[in-house]
């Protein structure tokens, strides 16, 4: 069983390194409209951040964001997770939610810094269209609750192309556009 980690962790780190390289080397993030570009990562300052990862489903933290989480934690940043659905398309939402909390415990993210929503208008599925305004409202609640100054989420293609991932991106993009104070910085995970 240990061999799985020996293969999965280096693979995830390689994926993260390639993504980070694309972010840092390209003037315009891939697949992102010019009107909705996110800010460059952490602007080079050294202060500790309150970072919110906005995810669509339980398992997104493991499949896409683990290297980012490990990097942020290694730099002393305080990581919070908002998962906007149970990921219940196959009826396994409660199991997936439990797995998310276990993964977060492994990543040293306290359970009280993890929020999983089960909103009737934000149900998992390839044919579900999520309300971007509702995503703004629910994300803003967590930003205020946890005093968030940095957001990490998917790119406009949803990294894997999943429509729920793309809706999360568009919800966060809308939030940033509506946040006139400009006090929230955002990163996107580029596929």
pLDDT higher than 60, residue 178:
yes
pLDDT digits (tens, 9 = 90+) for 79-96: 999 999 999 999 999 999
Higher pLDDT, 88 or 29: 88
pLDDT greater at residue 166 or residue 34: 166
Please tell me the distance from the alpha carbon of residue 10 to that of residue 29, in angstroms, as a whole number: 24
What are the angstrom distances between the C-alpha of 180 and each of 171, 174, 177, 183?
A: 16, 11, 7, 8
User: Which pLDDT score, from 0 to 100, does residue 140 have?
Assistant: 95
- How high is the pLDDT of residue 13? 53
Cβ atoms of 147 and 183 closer than 8 Å: no
Per CATH, the architecture of 2-189 is what?
A: 3-Layer(aba) Sandwich (3.40)
More confident residue, 120 or 19: 120
Query: Is the confidence at residue 70, as pLDDT, over 50?
Result: yes
Domain spans in the chain, listed from the N-terminal domain onward = 2-189
Q: Give the pLDDT band (50/70/90) at residue 167.
A: very high
Average pLDDT, the chain: 82
Token representation of residue 114: 């993890």
- In whole angstroms, give the CA distance from residue 82 to residue 56: 8
| 176 pLDDT above the threshold of 80 | yes
């Amino acid at each position: 069983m240990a061999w799985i980690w020996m293969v999965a962790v280096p693979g995830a780190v390689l994926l993260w390194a390639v993504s980070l390289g694309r972010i840092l080397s390209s003037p315009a993030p891939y697949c992102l409209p010019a009107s909705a570009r996110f800010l460059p990562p952490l602007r080079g300052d050294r202060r500790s951040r309150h970072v919110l990862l906005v995810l669509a489903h339980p398992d997104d933290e493991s499949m896409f964001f683990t290297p980012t989480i490990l990097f942020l934690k290694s730099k002393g940043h305080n990581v919070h997770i908002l998962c906007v659905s149970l990921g219940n398309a196959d009826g396994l939402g409660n199991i997936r939610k439990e797995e998310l909390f276990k993964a977060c415990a492994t990543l040293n993210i306290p359970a009280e810094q993890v929020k999983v929503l089960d909103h009737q208008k934000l149900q998992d599925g390839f044919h579900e269209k999520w309300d971007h305004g509702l995503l703004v409202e629910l994300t803003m609640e967590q930003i205020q609750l946890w005093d968030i100054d940095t957001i990490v989420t998917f790119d406009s293609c949803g990294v894997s192309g999943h429509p729920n991932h793309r809706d999360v991106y568009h919800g966060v993009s809308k939030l940033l556009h509506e946040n006139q104070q400009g006090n929230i910085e955002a990163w996107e995970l580029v596929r």
